[in-house]
Amino acid sequence: MENTKALRTWLDDFKLEHPLVIAGPCSAETEEQVLAIAHELKDSDVSIYRAGIWKPRTRPGGFEGVGTIGLKWLQKAKAETGLLMATEVANAAHVKLALEHDIDVLWIGARTTVNPFAVQEIADALAGTDKIVLVKNPVNPDLALWLGGVERLYNANIKKLGVIHRGFSTYEKTKYRNIPEWQLAIELQNKFPDLPLICDPSHITGKRDMIQEVSQQALDLNYDGLIIETHTDPDNAWSDAAQQVTPTVLKQIFKSLRVRKETDQAHDYNQKMASLRVNIDEIDTKLLETLGKRMKISDQIGELKKEKNVAVLQNKRWNEILGKMILEGEQKGLSEEFILRIFKAIHQESISHQEKVINN
């Protein structure tokens, strides 16, 4: 993508003194519900009202959205509150209907982003429009696939673009509904710093009591905004009840969040930071040296297994290592989640080294 600075223009047009906030129910349920929530949010920091009209579900039989009638409710909510309206689109037919009802912001969901054919269909249907289009990360942690979706829209001459980080699916049991994989979003920021990045703490956490924590983490990482599911009666919501907050709680979250400065020009800050970064660099170098030594031992283990015709993978040994490292990691203030990710990566590299030795 060229001239990516132009991508930020639509966000700057809001002239906000705080991060962009998109809020509203997971699903539009009734006209009364849509209007009630919109009126509760109109005098807050919310700039864009979100509501799902079409709800792609993993299995059939669940609530799949009210459909086109909900777009009329969003039109009415916009007329009464002045908020911009946003909804998810999954195909060209959705785009056509959203445009006919003058929806301001369209987002592409995680299940759609994984399908380049579907994204291209949406891009073709949107070609030449001036709508804001946001692309959620794909279900799996694939940065190329995520950026590919953005590029398809950009190539269709859609310049008001942004991305939504909603976390990634995993079979592992974690405290998140979808693990954040913050490093992936940071890598995206580094590649395209002018592409607005919005965090979806509702889908990352799946739990309303974690929304504030993850929202703050996103702001600490210089995200441009938040999209938070909000409902006047979340416990009885027709979809994703556990992750929605009330408008009152949302306003409390706003008050508790701290927007960080990108940097500080004070001499003592820069002096101390430079010193600490030197220490970090030295430790990182030692880490690489230690890992290199570990892999050389893995090569020797591979040679021994090759000589004795022993299988590479030894599950009992691996589980012993993992259990021990989790316990030792906790004593050093390291989370179990972090230890699992680090040592699984180390284990996989060790297996690769041994396989290379055995197969040569």
**pTM score of the predicted model:** 0.83
CB 158 within 8 A of CB 224: no
In a domain, 261, yes or no: no
CB 198 within 8 A of CB 173: no
CB 44 within 8 A of CB 250: yes
CATH code of the domain in which 208 resides = 3.20.20.70
In a domain, 80, yes or no: yes
Could you tell me the residue range of the domain that residue 130 belongs to? 4-256
As a whole number of angstroms, the distance between CA 219 and CA 209 comes to 17
The residue out of 235, 256, 277 marking a domain boundary is 256
Strand extents, DSSP E, the chain: 20-24, 48-50, 84-89, 105-108, 132-136, 161-165, 197-199, 225-229
Same structural domain, 275 and 334: yes
CB 43 within 8 A of CB 68: no
Q: Where are the alpha helices (DSSP H) in 6-91?
A: 9-12, 31-41, 69-81
On the 0-12 / 13-18 / 19+ scale of CB atoms within 10 A, 329 is middle
Domain count, the chain: 2
CB 23 within 8 A of CB 228: yes
Same structural domain, 287 and 232: no
Same structural domain, 127 and 217: yes
Same structural domain, 201 and 94: yes
In a domain, 262, yes or no: no
Instruction: Please give the backbone phi and psi of residue 57, each rounded to the nearest 5 degrees, phi first.
Output: -110, 150
As a whole number of angstroms, the distance between CA 141 and CA 266 comes to 38
The residue out of 237, 256, 275 marking a domain boundary is 256
What pLDDT was estimated at residue 3?
67
CB 106 within 8 A of CB 89: yes
Same structural domain, 144 and 293: no
CA distances to 290, 297, 299, 320 from 293, in Å: 5, 7, 10, 21
Same structural domain, 248 and 272: no
In a domain, 129, yes or no: yes
CB 91 within 8 A of CB 122: yes
CA distances to 79, 274, 329, 334 from 282, in Å: 59, 13, 21, 20
Q: What are the pLDDT tens digits along the chain (360 aa)?
A: 766 777 889 999 999 989 999 999 999 999 999 999 999 999 999 999 999 999 876 667 678 889 999 999 999 999 999 999 999 999 999 999 999 999 999 999 999 999 999 999 999 999 989 999 999 999 999 999 999 999 999 999 998 999 999 999 987 778 999 999 999 999 999 899 999 999 999 999 999 999 999 999 999 999 999 999 999 999 999 999 999 999 999 999 999 999 887 778 888 888 898 899 999 999 999 999 999 999 999 999 999 999 999 999 899 999 999 999 999 999 999 998 899 989 999 999 999 999 999 998
Sign of CA dihedral 179, 114, 142, 183: negative
What pLDDT was estimated at residue 346?
95
Same structural domain, 214 and 271: no
Same structural domain, 84 and 147: yes
Same structural domain, 251 and 272: no
In a domain, 21, yes or no: yes
Q: Which of 120, 123, 83 lies closest to 103, judged by CA?
A: 83
Same structural domain, 231 and 272: no
The residue out of 222, 256, 290 marking a domain boundary is 256
In a domain, 343, yes or no: yes
CB 38 within 8 A of CB 80: yes
Chain-centre distance for alpha carbon 356: 36
Same structural domain, 89 and 113: yes
CATH code of the domain in which 303 resides = 1.20.59.10
Same structural domain, 251 and 314: no
As a whole number of angstroms, the distance between CA 147 and CA 1 comes to 10
Half-sphere exposure of 306 (CA within 13 A, CB side): 15
In a domain, 27, yes or no: yes
In a domain, 113, yes or no: yes
Helix (H) or strand (E) holding 97: helix 92-100
